[in-house]
Amino acid sequence: MVAVPDPQRYVLTFGCPDRTGIIARIAGFLADHGGMIVEAAYHTDPDTGWFFTRQVVRADSLPFDAVGLRERFAAVAAELSAESSWQVRDTGERPRAVVLVSTAGHCLYDLLGRVASGELDVEIAAVIGNHTALADITRAHGIPFHHVPFAPGDKAAAFDEVRKLVDEHDPHAVVLARFMQILPTDLCEAWAGRAINIHHSFLPSFIGARPYHQAHVRGVKLIGATCHYVTADLDAGPIIEQDVIRVDHGDSVDDMVRKGRDIEKVTLARGLRWHLEGRVLVHGNRTVVF
């Protein structure tokens, strides 16, 4: 049986100060142009008084393309005092991602498998590593691998090269798949809202090297992972997804590391999917995930 592709859709997302009539204004605008809403989500944050929404419209119900929708909706966004980051995503355009890696391969292997199987609809345009350990598996999937060594005392030049390689693809997401280098502030700003990181959820309890060893000594009962946007504040960006798994006294350090890697893979894949589908709206250092 041949799978039938989903019809092309436009995904409209934004946030604005809450007030009466926002939903009616959006629905009215789309209805005036014949737009058929097939999915809609709303949320108001009572602490900030901010309204969030995600609207999905069938592309074939509108008399214009995604560019036309952006041009026409701009006036509505201004009327509602929407954030400048409001977006219209066209599902007919396959999103692109660039993945940054070091030597740990579990997250990259998982993403490559999900893309190859069609489970994750994204083009991995390139993989960039500060080591060559993951070059062969990357190229086996037909994806370019770029080695950018980070010489001690000269990381600025290395990051300049990484930035050049990434920006050539203008990716929708820059995925730090256990990339063991801290992005400089200028890259955090340039890739704001696109750079996604994954790490264990022990922070801030077990800082530094060998966190699983530290956790094992303390006898922790839960380990987990956090997927978040990258900001200049190390490991403190807006959280997209988190998950946990139980451990007990019978688990060795190796068991905990294995379980931790499992939960990191799943959490990163979920976070990346939600980001690419336009389900994550950022406001300050918090997110709304529809």
CA dist., res. 206 & res. 219, Å (int): 12
**Hey, which residues are catalytic here?**
235
Take residue 74 and report the two structure tokens written for it: 């701009």
Beta strands in the chain (DSSP E): 9-17, 37-45, 50-58, 87-90, 96-101, 123-129, 145-147, 173-176, 195-200, 222-229, 239-246, 280-283, 286-289
Q: Helices 253-276 & 211-218, crossing angle to 10 degrees? A: 120
Take residue 72 and report the two structure tokens written for it: 């026409």
Residue 83 near residue 13 (C-beta atoms within 8 A): no
Which sign, positive or negative, has the C-alpha torsion 83, 164, 185, 188?
positive
CA dist., res. 86 & res. 217, Å (int): 47
Long-range contacts (CB closer than 8 Å, 24 or more residues apart) made by 134-139: 134/101, 134/103, 134/105, 134/108, 137/105, 137/108, 137/109, 137/112, 138/108, 138/112
Cβ neighbours for 93, distance < 8 A, ≥ 6 positions apart: 66
